[in-house]
């Protein structure tokens, strides 16, 4: 008579997950734990080693989990590796996560000689007023300073953007908005005009980009991009709007 073989129970890791690192369910659960940790701390990034210890997995497992999702990624600063969490819209438009002075930022690379990269960072759009922080559209973001900035830019653009995907209250940041920011920057290496550290770049697009909301809602194909030069002469997005809407230039004051 053949003895029955009993399946040996899997040993659980400290966070209660089965100890089989390559399984998709484990990786998905790890990604949820990562987002929960970053949301709880309201930050955009955390050191890989520290985060792996917190969620109770190995660093290779955490890296595999991060690689499964477009809103999670890895970047290096010096000898340390960090995990970031951001809305995927600007990443799909060509922006790259970078760490500047210990803070997460987005950089738009350029190919043309002499043209400088463009940055999006929380420092130069501010953290918003207490009223904005109470707004449901921003309260649900649950990310750090850069994630909040991406959401804020998208909500401002919702007033004018043509063919926006922000038509529903629960929609995420618009990929089209960041594509327009990128194409405007590439098409306008020199500012149309400037005041001190503020520069206004303008570009025409093949299709209407939005409505001039102080000009009867007329559609326009021209977009203006306001950027701020910091102390290191790096350029950061401050605002974007349809050309001819000059009253909105200082809609988001720089804070750096």
Query: Are 69 and 147 part of one and the same domain?
Result: no
**Residue 103 vs residue 72, higher pLDDT:** 72
| Reported pTM | 0.77
In what order do the strands lie in the sheet containing 80-85? 45-47, 80-85, 72-77
Residue that has been written with the tokens 């999670």 in this structure: 72
Q: Which of 85, 105, 127 is the last residue of a domain?
A: 85
Q: Which of 37, 53, 85 is the last residue of a domain?
A: 85
Using an 8 Å Cβ cutoff, are 28 and 87 in contact? no
**115 DSSP 8-state letter:** P
Query: Are 127 and 197 part of one and the same domain?
Result: yes
- Whether residue 1 is contained in a domain is answered as no
Boundaries of domain holding 22: 14-85
128-137 contacts: CB < 8 A, separation 24 or more? Answer: 128/152, 136/169, 137/169
Least confident of 123-137, 194-208, 239-253: 123-137
φ/ψ region of 101 (left if φ > 0, alpha if ψ in -120 to 50, else beta) reads left
Domain count of the fold of the chain: 2
Of 57, 49, 47, the C-alpha closest to 13 is 57
- Whether residue 3 is contained in a domain is answered as no
Query: Are 161 and 53 part of one and the same domain?
Result: no
User: How far out from the chain centre does Cα 14 lie?
Assistant: 32
Query: Are 134 and 64 part of one and the same domain?
Result: no
Residue that has been written with the tokens 């908005």 in this structure: 177
Is the model's pLDDT at 123 over the cut of 90?
Answer: no
Query: Are 77 and 96 part of one and the same domain?
Result: no
- Whether residue 6 is contained in a domain is answered as no
* pLDDT > 70 fraction of the chain, expressed in percent and rounded: 73
Mean pLDDT for 89-103 is 90
Is the model's pLDDT at 169 over the cut of 60?
Answer: no
Using an 8 Å Cβ cutoff, are 57 and 48 in contact? no
Instruction: Report pLDDT digits (tens) over 75-91.
Output: 999 899 999 999 888 99
Instruction: Report pLDDT digits (tens) over 139-154.
Output: 455 578 888 888 888 8
Using an 8 Å Cβ cutoff, are 73 and 61 in contact? no
Q: Which of 85, 107, 132 is the last residue of a domain?
A: 85
User: How far out from the chain centre does Cα 211 lie?
Assistant: 25
């Amino acid at each position: 008579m053949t003895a029955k073989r009993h399946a040996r129970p899997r040993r659980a890791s400290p966070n209660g997950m089965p100890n089989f690192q390559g399984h998709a369910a484990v990786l998905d659960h790890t990604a949820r734990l990562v987002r929960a940790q970053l949301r709880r701390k309201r930050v955009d990034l955390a050191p890989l080693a520290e985060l792996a210890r917190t969620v109770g997995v190995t660093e290779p497992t955490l890296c595999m989990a991060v690689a499964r999702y477009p809103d999670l990624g890895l970047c290096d600063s010096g000898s340390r590796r960090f995990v970031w969490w951001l809305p995927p819209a600007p990443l799909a438009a060509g922006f790259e996560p970078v760490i500047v002075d210990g803070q997460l930022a987005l950089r738009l690379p350029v190919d043309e000689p002499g043209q400088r990269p463009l940055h999006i960072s929380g420092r130069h759009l501010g953290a918003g007023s207490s009223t904005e922080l109470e707004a449901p559209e921003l309260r649900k973001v649950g990310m750090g300073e850069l994630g909040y900035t991406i959401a804020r830019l998208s909500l401002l653009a919702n007033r004018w953007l043509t063919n926006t995907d922000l038509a529903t209250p629960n929609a995420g940041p618009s990929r089209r908005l960041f594509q327009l920011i990128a194409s405007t920057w590439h098409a306008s290496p020199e500012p149309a005009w400037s005041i001190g550290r503020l520069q206004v770049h303008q570009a025409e697009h093949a299709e209407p980009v939005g409505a001039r909301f102080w000009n009867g809602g007329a559609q326009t194909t021209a977009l203006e991009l306001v950027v701020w030069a910091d102390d290191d002469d790096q350029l950061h997005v401050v605002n974007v709007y349809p050309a001819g809407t000059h009253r909105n230039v200082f809609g988001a004051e720089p804070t750096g």
